[in-house]
Amino acid sequence: MTSFCANPPADEGIAPSRKVVTDEQRETAENLKNEANGYFKNAKYEDAIRLYTEAIEMNPFVPAYYCNRAIAYIRTEAHGYALMDADKALELDPNFAKAYYRRATANMAMLRFKDSFKDFRTVVKRVPKDAEARRKLAECEKIVRRMEFEKAIEFDEAGRSVVDQIDLTSMKVEDDYDGARLPTRSVTHDDGSTETVEYMDKSFLRDMIQRFKDQKMIHKRFAYQIILEAKRIFTECPSLVDVRIPQDATMTVCGDVHGQFYDFIHIFELNGYPTADHWYLFNGDFVDRGSFSLEIILTLFAYKWLNPTTIYLARGNHETNNMNKVYGFEGEVKAKFSNLMFKLFAETFNALPLAHVIQDKIFVVHGGLFSQDQVTLDDIRKINRFSQPPSEGLMCELLWSDPRPQPGRGPNKRGVGIEFGPDITEAFLKHNNLDVLVRSHEVKDEGYAVEHNGKCLTVFSAPNYCDRMDNKGAFLNVTPDAKYEWQQFSAVPHPTNVKAMQYASQFNSFGF
């Protein structure tokens, strides 16, 4: 399986009214389509896209070719390209229900819920007996109504923190609770008064991780305490964090882990747990898709509380409310705890730094670079990140952009952010006296990719992504002299009773 770096839909360059397709070309195109279908069934999506494209070039008049390529693009998260293909199919056949279906799916993935609702409504009108389309229409309508409700009450909650609604003293730990408990100690204040406070230690972390492995949860009091402490620490961080690795230490940079807790813990088992001489940077997308996101984020936050200088976290495009509504994290937190806790996570995600610079030479960000030239590190430091990301601008592009092989810039295959070429990477690094860009955001067959003449590195740490991609995971070990080496790893077993997207089950068949 090749890496998921899809090419844009081909511009056939011949107006359909002028192109004459012979019988031989029609037959060849149909054979290419059938071969592509075989690759698609075996999850070889890039190969399928290549052959669908060849079929389209041979015969650009068949709406099904565009529809088939659209679902392959959706599986590679190239939702912007999928939207273009669905539009082309509808241009050829305005009554093609499957094209509306594909467009609705792409719009849903791009969080354009109202547009998706319109297309699903069209599908149901044209194919009223399609039970799956009716179900998706209902789910889509539910999201639209909920968003409208949340927007209506947003004004009333403006400026108020959910922290004010949390009372830890009322969360009593029951006598029959048999899980990890935070230790306590007495603290003397400047006025001479004393207070008993809870703190994080290695014993609690060890017991919590084992409890998570056993598919058990910690008490809500301790979960809230962990999140609150992490929020406090991140709020004090700048938007761009400078990291200096001690001479006797190593830093490991990990990419997306996406709720795959057992693979996430396997990284520590292979490479060592966070310590004073072994630091970690997790580069966004800790949650969603995988169904153990809560276990991952609580573990990361607990390590941040234990020793803030040994572990660093950057915000990804999935540490956002709208993504969490669609891809599972909101549903998971509500199922395991409460909506109040999800709101606290949302505020905490707003506080996550957006980028890191290691040893003054390695720029680390979840997505990529920018639609404008001469962006400086100070420009990133000045970003007011304490909000949901906007749909454009520096913050959006940091979280969403992707590299491409050709020079220059172009629309992103995801429909958000941009695609940037090797010249853009070279210019940004030179302008900021940096050596290399490290980013994540894209699944890769080998767990990593080296692009742009070695200047753009992609690291992805969720092997067998969503239990179906059969890719390796990888991480990057960095030494104090800014040298680095890759390490790959394979997926490990996880409980079979919990599937990917378990808490977003209404979207399981959307192709996400």
Annotated catalytic residues are 318
Cross-strand pairs, 250: 278
For the record, the structure tokens of 170 come out as 């009322």
Tell me phi and psi for residue 218, to 5 degrees.
-80, 165
Single out the residue of 438, 213, 205 nearest to residue 304, CA to CA: 205
For residue 371, give the DSSP letter: S
Residue whose structure tokens are 């067998």: 464
Under 8 Å between Cβ of 251 and 280:
yes
Strands (DSSP E) found in 190-314: 194-198, 240-243, 250-254, 278-282, 311-313
Please tell me the distance from the alpha carbon of residue 233 to that of residue 225, in angstroms, as a whole number: 12
Question: Each residue of 247-277: b (16+ CB within 10 Å) or e?
Answer: eebbbbbbbbbbbbbbbbbbbbeebebbeee
Question: Each residue of 186-209: b (16+ CB within 10 Å) or e?
Answer: eeeeeeeeeeeebebeeebbeebb
Single out the residue of 198, 447, 478 nearest to residue 360, CA to CA: 478
- Alpha carbon 351 to its chain centroid, in Å, reads 17
Q: In which order are the strands placed within the sheet that holds 278-282?
A: 311-313, 278-282, 250-254, 473-478, 484-489
